[in-house]
Structure 1
Amino acid sequence: MRILNKIFGKSSSEQKFWEWFAKNSTRLYTAEGHTDDVCRELEEEMHKVHKDLAYSFGPIKDERREFIVSADGMLSVFPAVQRLANAAPDLPSWHITAFRPATGPSIIRVGSCSLRPSDIFFLAEAQDKKLNLTLFIKDLDRHDEQSLSSAVFLCLDAILGEYDAQMKIGMVGWKPLPDGPSRDKLYRIEKLPEITHLLLDQTT
């Protein structure tokens, strides 16, 4: 904590958060869900640092539980995430992660919209060090626009991770998935990390 005092001073909201976190480490370590009292307290403490900060708990590995500090996909909150994560002291029972990591393709459900990885293909074009994506979605007309939009960005978040989904992806649009041979020219959504790496490396 002495190092944090030197860096931030007594009034640092980041320092105060981690002091609270350390005092409540045991309660947080055993928390089972966001409805636990300690999780409600945790959310209140995070919002003292920045009103839009979010969090999640990851798995326990080697007796350490992962605590993920997130911007919930809001680019304007990224600096607050980085400041808070960088200010974290060494907590023996915890691994602190900035931004939600990639979890891989999975079924995304938002409202009445349900997107399966097998239903999504894409084309990509590199521009200004980002990729512009056109997604081709099976049964597109069955989804309402608002739920679909949320589901699409949650899908990108899961496949690329929160940081890369915001920093490496530019414009995103979608069209109905075509039938027949034209589908063979499209990439499956599972290939997005590979194509992102390939195309962006070529532009640097």
Structure 2
Amino acid sequence: MLRKILTLLCSALPITGNATQEAQFWNWFVENESALFSFTSPTDPLLNDLTRQLTQVNADLAFEFSLVAQDGRREFVISANGLKEAFPAVETLYAAAPTLERWDIIKYRPRRNPVHTLSIGGREFDPSKVNCLLVKDGAKIGIVIMYDDYEQENKLFVQASYLLLDEALGEYAVEMQVGFVDIRSREDSWIAQSFPLTELASEFDAAKMRLAGQIE
């Protein structure tokens, strides 16, 4: 799926009138709806304009687009970019969204099935070659992630791990329901108890149900 994920650190455009920042963003979105719906290139200058508009709402917000689906609709995802402190801004902007005929407005990066292979920094991270182990972490669930070619000093593995978790579980669950995240080599002694990351969603849901029963 073609996606454009941007951390929004650009300077804001001037604000005019008495409308809230959220209302101004959606007014701009509606005015440019046709061009946004039709864009195909992640280098389209219109996305820079969208970035600047979103920055006015909150500098930590990010966005994603899906491809146009078979039903003729397209997803626009409002993301906190993995920052819990930006969750209120996501909620406020989502609550102010208008109903748009061709768009599904989604708050937080949703689960994806299947989880897609990531290409970051010249490396590919194939979820079918990544293993996971779930461990109780208080009222949350800790996750151990294991790679064949893990390099402890390479920060790409941390970035890839959280992006894969967002895809497998959804951004909200990763920030609110996941406890620790530990990254290791698949040579670790825990590998025998692990399972492929492609099975993480079902395993995580089952673990949540067991944990809820213990807490109650």
TM range (shorter): 0.7 to 0.9
Which residue is equivalent to 1:93?
102
Larger strand percent: 1
Task: State the aligned residue count.
Answer: 194
1:139 aligns with 2:149: yes
Matched, 1:51 2:51: no
Determine if the alignment matches structure 1 residue 170 to structure 2 residue 164: no
Unaligned runs of 5+ in 1: 1-8
Q: Are the structure 2 counterparts of residues 106 and 57 from structure 1 closer, same or farther at C-alpha, using a change threshold of 3 Å?
A: closer
Q: 1:30 to 1:147 in 2, by over 3 A?
A: same
> For residue 116 of structure 1, what is the aligned residue in structure 2?
126
Equivalent runs, 1:11-160 vs 2, <5 Å: 11-61=19-69, 62-103=71-112, 104-141=114-151, 144-160=153-169
Question: How large is the Cα RMSD of the aligned pairs?
Answer: 2.2
Task: Give how far 1:42 is off.
Answer: 1.0
For structure 2, list consecutive stretches of 5 or more residues without a partner in the other structure: 1-16
Mark the structure with the bigger radius of gyration: 1
Q: If each structure's helix is expressed as a fraction of its own residues, which one has the higher value?
A: 1
Contact 1:17–1:49 (CA<8 Å) still a contact in 2?
yes
In structure 2, distance between residues paired with 1:151 and 1:60? 26
- Whether the aligned pair in 2 keeps the contact of 1:34 and 1:40 (CA below 8 Å) is no
Decide whether the 8 Å contact of 2:115 with 2:164 is kept in 1.
Answer: yes
Distance between the aligned counterparts of 1:130 and 1:22, measured in 2? 39
1:179 to partner: Cα distance: 8.2
Distance apart, 1:21 and its partner CA:
0.9
Mapped contact 2:158–2:183 kept (Cα < 8 A): no
Superposition TM-score, scaled by structure 1 size: 0.85
Query: What TM-score, normalized to structure 2?
Result: 0.81
> Partner amino acid for 2:78?
V
> Higher mean Cα deviation, 98-107 or 87-96?
98-107
Kept in 2, the 8 Å contact 1:33–1:39? The answer is no
Distance 2:153 2:122 in 1: 8
